[in-house]
Amino acid sequence: MKYGIAVFPSKDLQDIANSYRKRYDPKYAKVPPHLTLKAAFELNEDEEDDMINQLREIASTSNPFTLKIGKYSTFHPVTNTIYMKVTENEDLFALHAKLNEGDLTIDVEHPYVPHITIGQEMNYDELSDVYGRLKLETIHHEETVDRFSLMYQLENGAWSVHETFVLGKSQ
Amino acid sequence: MKYGIAVFPSKDLQDIANSYRKRYDPKYAKVPPHLTLKAAFELNEDEEDDMINQLREIASTSNPFTLKIGKYSTFHPVTNTIYMKVTENEDLFALHAKLNEGDLTIDVEHPYVPHITIGQEMNYDELSDVYGRLKLETIHHEETVDRFSLMYQLENGAWSVHETFVLGKSQ
């Protein structure tokens, strides 16, 4: 089964992201707006319980963190993606590290850039136009994140949340 | 904010439901296949923490239950909905009752019929045709449900999972 780990931010931030995703993100209907903590990975279902125990342990020994958005950015020319850039943050990077080391190590192609995607697989003209406008905008959003979600992917490509893990709390 | 409480069944059952929902359910892209435990309700966000504490208490004092599907059914002529009928079950009804009494009471229009929707808002000809075929089919599916999810609704109508609650376990 294919799994992924992400943070779903507040309704306010999800609504802002969706106002762009609706037009610019072909995965709009497959998953709500999110901050990926661990990219999609394959795992046998019989290993799921072990992983969940690890995730509970990681959550209980991690701190809630501040999710701060200061601007929009793009991964172009690597991919034609526009995203809300999440300001770097020690607690977030510590959590990301714990979710991607030891038994949870997976091969990743790029260094971790925390972000919330608002457009992807855009054609170049559209990306230039939209990003040209957004890079002039400032966005000031700050919220406390106190949980992350383990999801699995359905056959149609949509993601279903299997379990949420509250940070900094023994469960 | 608008909240709802549901069970997301196994990937296998969700994939079967989606094979129909894709064609017959206009809410296909808004939420994965689910068994509703508490219909959508409005709640002030400042009451969310109290509700979550109640849900944790309910989850820890409830039993996992067997989700058994034996046939397809329809709510026609009340609504043009086709669903997988969930076999009645004492633990499921007990959980549903706890989630809909006391502080959690909401007005509901119909008695509780546990189901997983696979088509809704269908025109009559389509409903007759599809249900005509499905009512001749038997479906034997059985799984253990050990969790439920609290969701909230985004502005675009999609649902985002806020927290999952594991049954029969102090959290």
Question: Is the pLDDT assigned to residue B24 strictly greater than 60?
Answer: yes
Nearest chain B Cα distance for residue A165, angstroms: 8
Confirm or reject contact between B51 and chain A (CB < 8 A): no
Residue B171 has what pLDDT?
45
Taking an 8 Å cut-off on Cβ atoms, the answer to whether B14 and A149 are in contact is no
The residue count of chain A comes to 171
Question: What is the mean predicted confidence (pLDDT) over B137-164?
Answer: 96
Query: Does residue A127 sit in helix, strand or coil?
Result: helix
With a pLDDT cut of 90, the percent of chain A lying above it is 89
Contacts of residue B22 in chain A, CB cutoff 8 Å? 156
The neighbour count for residue B85, using CB atoms within 10 Å, is: 17
d(CA B108, CA A53): 38
Question: Is the pLDDT assigned to residue A108 strictly greater than 80?
Answer: no
Structure tokens, A134 = 């957004």
Residue A30 has what pLDDT?
96
Residue B75 has what pLDDT?
95
* Residue keyed to tokens 């089964």: A1
Q: What's the CATH fold of domain B2-166?
A: Cyclic Phosphodiesterase; Chain: A, (3.90.1140)
Kindly report the backbone phi and psi dihedral angles of residue A14, in degrees, each rounded to the nearest multiple of 5, phi listed first: -65, -40
d(CA B67, CA B58): 19
What are the tens digits of pLDDT across the range B36-67?
A: 999 999 999 999 999 999 999 999 999 999 99
Contact between A82 and A74 (Cβ < 8 Å):
yes
Burial class from Cβ neighbours inside 10 Å (0-12, 13-18, 19+) for residue B25 reads buried
What are the tens digits of pLDDT across the range A111-145?
A: 899 999 999 999 999 999 999 999 998 899 999 99
Sign of CA dihedral A165, A171, B6, B12: positive
What value does the mean pLDDT of chain B take?
94
Confirm or reject contact between A155 and chain B (CB < 8 A): yes
Contact between A39 and A2 (Cβ < 8 Å):
no
Contacts of residue B154 in chain A, CB cutoff 8 Å? 11, 14-15, 18, 32
* Residue keyed to tokens 């809909």: B100
A157 CB-near residues (< 8 Å, 6+ apart)? A27, A30
The neighbour count for residue B132, using CB atoms within 10 Å, is: 9
Contact between A104 and A59 (Cβ < 8 Å):
no
What are the tens digits of pLDDT across the range A22-34?
A: 999 999 999 999 9
With a pLDDT cut of 70, the percent of chain A lying above it is 98
Note if A110 is an active site residue: no
Which residue pairs from A39-42 have beta carbons closer than 8 angstroms and sit at least 24 positions apart in sequence? A39/A4, A39/A106, A39/A108, A40/A2, A40/A3, A40/A4, A40/A153, A41/A2, A41/A3, A41/A4, A41/A106, A42/A1, A42/A2, A42/A3
d(CA B61, CA B170): 8
Query: Does residue A71 sit in helix, strand or coil?
Result: strand
Confirm or reject contact between B44 and chain A (CB < 8 A): no
Question: Is the pLDDT assigned to residue B170 strictly greater than 60?
Answer: no
What are the tens digits of pLDDT across the range B80-107?
A: 999 999 999 999 999 999 999 888 888 7
What value does the mean pLDDT of chain A take?
94
Question: Is the pLDDT assigned to residue A96 strictly greater than 70?
Answer: yes
Question: What is the mean predicted confidence (pLDDT) over B149-170?
Answer: 94
For an interface test with B, give the residue of A19, A156, A159 to mutate (most B CBs within 10 A): A156
Structure tokens, A37 = 């903590």
**Nearest CB to A164 within list B155, B159, B163:** B163
Question: Is the pLDDT assigned to residue A92 strictly greater than 70?
Answer: yes
d(CA A71, CA A60): 31
Q: Where are the domains of chain A?
A: 2-166
d(CA B59, CA B166): 6
Sign of CA dihedral B110, B114, B120, B123: negative
**Which residue of chain A is at minimal alpha-carbon distance from B30?**
A29
Provide the pLDDT confidence category of residue B128 given band limits of 50, 70 and 90: very high
DSSP conformational letter for A156? T
**Nearest CB to A18 within list B18, B22, B154:** B154
Provide the pLDDT confidence category of residue A171 given band limits of 50, 70 and 90: very low
DSSP H helical ranges for chain A: 11-24, 48-60, 90-98, 124-134
**Nearest CB to B161 within list A1, A149, A156:** A149
Taking an 8 Å cut-off on Cβ atoms, the answer to whether B160 and A11 are in contact is yes
d(CA B17, CA B141): 12
Residue A170 has what pLDDT?
53
For an interface test with B, give the residue of A155, A159, A169 to mutate (most B CBs within 10 A): A155
